[in-house]
Structures are given as C-alpha cells and as structure tokens.
Amino acid sequence: MTSESLDNLKKAAAFRAVEFVRDGMVIGLGTGSTAKHLLAAIGEQVRAGRKVRGVPTSQETAALARESGIPLIDTEDRWEIDVAIDGADQVDPDFNLIKGGGGALLKEKIVAASAKHFIVMVDYTKQVSVLGGSFPLPIEVVPFGWGSTAREIEALTKGRVVLRNRNGVPFKTEAGHLIVDVHIDRIDRPGELETALNLIPGVVETGLFVGRTNTLIVGTPQGVHIFHVPRK
C-alpha cells in the first residue's frame, strides 16, 4: 500500500474520532501524522460554531491548532480533560501501545493520564500481535549520565539501545531530555516492563502506554473499525 493510501486511512480514522467531540469539551490534542488530520477536522467544527478548548502535547501541535483556529488552554495548572485523542506507533491485541516516534511521549502520557477518555486512532499497519520487533521502544532519559542509564536499560531489556539523533546531533525533547530507542524482539509483558524501566534512575518516561486506551479507531481498506475498551 502506498504512503498516500495509508495517509487516507489515517485521515478516515481521525474523522471518525472527531465524532466523539462534543460542545464545551476540553480535548487533549495528540502529536503526529494522524493527529494533523484530527486538528484539521476539529478546526472545521470550530469554524462552524463548536465551542471546545485544546491541550496540545507538543509545540508543533500547538502551532497547528492555532492555525486551525482551535482555542488552547494556556495555563499548565490542573486540567479537566474530557477526551484525549492521539495516534500510536504500535497497538497490541490488548490495546497496549508503543508511542514516542515523534519524540512527544512525555507530554502525550501526561495528557492521556489526565483525560477521562483516551482515544487512539491508527491505520491498520500499526496493529501487531506483540509489541516490539519492527518498531523500537522510545525511552526519555535525562542527559546527565545517560550512557549509564542506557546500560541499565540494556541489561534489563536484553535489547539494543540507540541514542536518537537528528541531523547528526542528539535529539532533545521539548523538556530538554534525550531519547534512547530500544530495539527489542518482543515485549510479552508490557506492564511489567513499563514498571521496571521507570525504576531505573535517569529514566523520565517510557513509550509504553499500558492499560490506558478506552477506544481504538482503526482505518483499514475495508473501512473504519471502532473498538471500545473500558479502562481497568
């Protein structure tokens, strides 16, 4: 399938996600290629008179939201987010996720955890039988002693840890941290791994989103499929 065809599936999933948006809602706005379609669709609703406010998960999303005319909440005090809508890099059969390919995993997880309802929208190629393998696990780490942190991550996961670079220099998150991408053949117990990784000094957050998805929207060549998963 071509990249244009996949993008159309992402767009279809995003447009179905907008159906969950109601007047007066505060919406967590995800980051990434599928989220761009979401922002455009919500922007159309705002221009048609819908009253919503957004909490962006990255500066890129904030800029796109403003371009689309979506009002944003400026304060970073305690939010009351009605629904957060975001994409994912992988989704397993239990609706656990790997996220962070775009480098916004920390803000994305904060917003997802703050939302009453978390909606994930993907194209069907993001569905996998087990997390890992074809996509590395991003982990956000503090710069100080990152090599030692990476060594502990490697010992725990038995995977290969690679410092993320952009244009030949280490990639920095908006919070000023680094990201290491961990290549693991398979993640059979994502919940246990998420907990263990977060106990390593220097780890800020992982790209494992375990037990957070309430609704999964999947764009496929046969149409858009929606799955509802009560949060445990």
pLDDT tens-digit profile of 87-106?
999 999 999 999 999 999 99
Q: Tell me the pLDDT of the chain averaged across its residues.
A: 95
Q: In Å, how far from its chain's centre is CA 124?
A: 16
Angle at 208 between CA 205 and CA 209, to 5 degrees: 105
The pTM for the full model equals: 0.94
Residue 123 in this model has a pLDDT that exceeds 80? yes
Determine the average pLDDT of the residues in 170-198.
Answer: 97
Rounded Cα–Cα distance for residues 13 and 122 (Å) = 7
pLDDT at 222: 95
User: Which residue out of 19, 60, 108, 140 is catalytically annotated?
Assistant: 108
pLDDT band for position 231 (cuts 50, 70, 90): low
Domains and their CATH numbers in the chain = 3-127+211-221 (3.40.50.1360), 137-206 (3.30.70.260)
Residue 116 in this model has a pLDDT that exceeds 90? yes
Residues of the chain with pLDDT > 70, as a percent, come to 99
* Tokens, residue 32: 């990434």
pLDDT tens for 143-156 read 999 999 999 999 99
User: Which amino acid, 140?
Assistant: E
pLDDT at 232: 58
Residue 60: active-site member: no
Contact residues for 9 (Cβ-Cβ < 8 A; gap 6+): 123, 124, 219, 220, 221
pLDDT band for position 79 (cuts 50, 70, 90): confident
